[in-house]
Amino acid sequence: MKLKTVLMGAAGAMALSVGTTSAQDPVSLTIVSWGGAYTTSQVRAYHDPYMAENPHVTIINDDGSANALAGLRAQSQAGNVTWDLVDMLPSDAQLACDEGLILEIDHDEMLAAAPDGTSASEDFLPGSLGECFIPQIVYSTVLTYRPGAFSDDAQPSSIADLFDVENFPGRRALQDRPGTNLEWALYADGVDPDDIYEVLSTPEGVDRAFAKLDTIKEHIVFWTEGAQAPQLLADGEVVMATGYNGRMFDAIEVEGMDADIIWDGQVVEWDGWVVPAGGSNIEAVMDYLYWATDTQRLADQAKYISYGPARASSAPLVGEHADLGIDMNQHMPTNPDNYFSPIILDNDFWTDYGDELRERFANWMLQ
């Protein structure tokens, strides 16, 4: 990227000025994220503390991450980039990076080292960094169910039970995208988690996954926004729902929804930041990023939502929920008690095959 060298110098300078407020012009940053409990956790862990230390900065939240790639393309084509920072999935971030919509990141130059001096590139969890992507959290898509919908001696406990409408009758809520649904279909059909993407990269594997989904199609309610999944459960519209573990944690522990999470086959993903190319507040964004992605700040987010921090140095700092006082470690996707059969989402696979599978899934939904 043409701006990479400039940004590296800017990041170093800004790192020295974090927390200073004198004689600085007002800056308004539009930060795009997913809304709901997740954005609330960012506001409390990052945005509000940062604005308190930097009163010249105002952060405006935009819940547009579900359509972030399309939004970045539209703004770039119009020559009017209004987003300053975007929370994005790695597969979409790679596409945006390849298209020149977002800036390349030199992680060790632009981000803080760990407290013990370990470089950012070594401190962030293996495989999480991208050419244009700064990881923030580890989260997972999980299956959640209403215990009261089933008899006490027949409670679902696995992804296979999602596809077992005979023993676990009722409607299921699934996200209206192929990701997670195709992986779970193969997993429930007997494919080992380590082999799922090898199988799914073949026409026969894709047919096998859709055939498995066909077995429950008439029982499916599709959701689009993350808040819909727990709401469908809470309202009794469905007996099971796929959803983000943090959303489900918030609904169960904070809102009091009567539901249980099934950790079997959790689909583990990264989520993080990208910087739109052509923005007007690049230096201010890099100052914010240096601060908001350090060891302490990533650990702080776990006080408000059950997503694991993307830095190794942050994990020992995870403690109790800020409001509930419960130990958050047991609610992390990466807790050993929960991480017994994870499916690690393959972003390279979805970059290569995503468009084709999204088109087929959309047609399948309409059939």
Q: Supply the pLDDT for residue 162.
A: 98
- Residues 255, 267: Cα–Cα separation, whole Å: 24
Q: Which amino acid is present at 230?
A: P
Q: Supply the pLDDT for residue 209.
A: 98
Q: Which of 76, 107, 101 is nearest to 88 (CA)?
A: 101
What domains are there in the chain, each with its CATH number?
4-138+270-317 (3.40.190.10), 139-269+333-366 (3.40.190.10)
Q: Which of 139, 169, 141 is nearest to 154 (CA)?
A: 169
10-residue stretch averages of pLDDT, the chain, 367 residues long: 39 42 80 92 97 98 94 97 96 94 97 98 92 95 98 97 98 97 98 97 98 98 94 98 94 96 96 97 97 97 94 93 94 90 92 93 96
**Predicted TM-score of the model (pTM):** 0.79
Q: Is 67 exposed, middle or buried (0-12, 13-18, 19+ CB in 10 A)?
A: exposed
- The secondary structure element, H or E, covering residue 365 is helix 347-366
Q: Supply the pLDDT for residue 1.
A: 38
Q: Which amino acid is present at 229?
A: A
Q: Supply the pLDDT for residue 36.
A: 85
